[in-house]
Amino acid sequence: MVIIMLGAPGTGKGTVAGILQEKMGIKQVSTGDIFRKNIKEGTELGKLADSYISKGNLVPDEVTIQIVKDRLNEPDVEKGIILDGFPRTIVQAEALEKMLAEKGKKVDLVINLVTSEEEIIERLVYRRVCPNCKSIFNVILHPPKQEGICDNCGHELIHRDDDKEETIKDRFQTYLKQTSPLIEYYEKKGVLRTEEVSKKINRMGKEVAEDIVQEYQS
Ligand code: AMP
């Protein structure tokens, strides 16, 4: 099964993907995590990626597509994959379709998370993530039991550099320009599932993920 997480930064893609991975046994692959790991390790890819990510821009298609292509050849995603943060452009979506077709696969479900820009900014500015187990917290909405420490694995939490307010605005614009056309793209293919997430309606990534798990298990 191939699932794609779509939505602006801060809508909860990682949260949903993490729960689906745990409950459905399908591997979550985040291109953002792959870039961050390379940045931390100081690789050539990391240096290149950082020059785009720090400005709120997308890493070039050819670089990102090659990473996903290599990842799709690994055995742990044979059964299925949840792509968290890929594709982010039409060019990437078309390349993905080709890569999957070569393996006799296709995109089965695209989960499109929608929320207001206001809530996105609030969630990202206060977001803290665990670089070790990828758990996600929010200083206001979902604080860890001990300040700055992951409840799940005890690792120190980080505030991502690109979660600072100036960069968030650029990332949101990038999403509108380059990624949001994918909504129509996947709608036409009949695989789009749009979900509003908002604290106003008491529906966040966790609730969305639980509903999907239940539907697929029954
Ligand atoms: P994320 O963790 O998904 O928010 O990704 C962090 C940053 O990595 C994004 O803001 C982009 O700069 C870059 N990135 C992640 N995935 C992609 C992609 N599919 N295409 C281009 N850039 C990406």
**Is 90 exceeded by the pLDDT of residue 185?**
yes
Tokens at residue 63, please? 């670089």
The residue contributing the CA closest to ligand 1 atom 5 is 32
Task: Classify residue 147 by its DSSP letter.
Answer: T
- CATH number for 70: 3.40.50.300
Q: Tell me, yes or no, whether 159 lies in a domain.
A: no
The better pLDDT of the pair 164, 63 is held by 63
Query: What pLDDT was estimated at residue 190?
Result: 98
Query: What pLDDT was estimated at residue 216?
Result: 87
Residues framing ligand 1 (Cβ under 6 A)? 9, 30-32, 35, 52-53, 57-59, 64, 85-88, 92, 162, 171
Q: Tell me, yes or no, whether 132 lies in a domain.
A: no
25: alpha, beta or left? (left if phi > 0; alpha if psi -120 to 50): left
Q: Tell me, yes or no, whether 121 lies in a domain.
A: no
Q: Tell me, yes or no, whether 142 lies in a domain.
A: no
pLDDT tens-digit profile of 44-70?
999 999 999 998 999 999 999 999 999
Does the pTM surpass 0.85? The reply is: yes
Q: Tell me, yes or no, whether 61 lies in a domain.
A: yes
**Is 90 exceeded by the pLDDT of residue 217?**
no
**Position 61, amino acid:** D
pLDDT tens-digit profile of 114-124?
999 899 998 99
Domain with 82, as residue range(s), is 2-115+179-213
Query: Catalytic amino acids?
Result: 13, 88, 127, 160, 171
Q: Tell me, yes or no, whether 134 lies in a domain.
A: no
Q: Tell me, yes or no, whether 149 lies in a domain.
A: no
Stretch 102-129: mean pLDDT:
94
Please, which pLDDT band fits residue 218 given cuts at 50, 70 and 90?
confident
| Nearest atom in ligand 1 to 53's CA | 12
